Amino acid sequence: MDNQKVLLRIVQTWDLSPNPEYRGFRCANCQKSIRKAWYHWLVGGGYKIPVHFCSKCEKTFILNKIKINKPIIKVEKEKFLEFSGKIQAFLGKIVDGWSIKTKPIYKIFTCDYCSKNLYRAFHIWNTKKGIFVETHLCRQCKDRIT
């Protein structure tokens, strides 16, 4: 199975929240809490998002041996509308600036706007032209849009 299909299948096991969540970061596959991660880009299947792996899951992913045993969770897309006005412009600028063709990189989590190192962030799911995106913002940058 190609990498994008595996990433999509993993993301389909997530219980996405239409409301911003302030929390730490977890491995996309095993859901272990992590402070640094391998970043992969999922671009397809209705998503444009970074997918984060812990080092253990990264190894199994690279070897094409990752096991995905969780069921697919149906996402109620109508709950994830595009934000309006200022908020959508702010988040849209972030998403448009993503370098999605980069090779996987291992790094600490950062705010998608100001690049401040983060251990917790606002995880904000919404849609951009019908595509699911997830941005991560520090408190100060989240306050800029509220």
pLDDT in tens, 58-115: 999 999 999 998 999 999 888 876 677 889 899 999 999 999 988 999 999 999 999 9
Helix (H) or strand (E) holding 57: helix 55-62
- Nearest in space to 9 (alpha carbons), one of 32, 36, 29: 29
The pLDDT tens digits for 101-138 are 889 999 999 999 999 999 999 999 998 888 999 999 99
Q: 32 is in which domain, residue-wise?
A: 3-143
pTM, full prediction: 0.92
Query: How many domains would you assign to the chain?
Result: 1
Tell me the C-alpha distance between 68 and 13, whole Å: 9
Tell me the C-alpha distance between 75 and 120, whole Å: 24
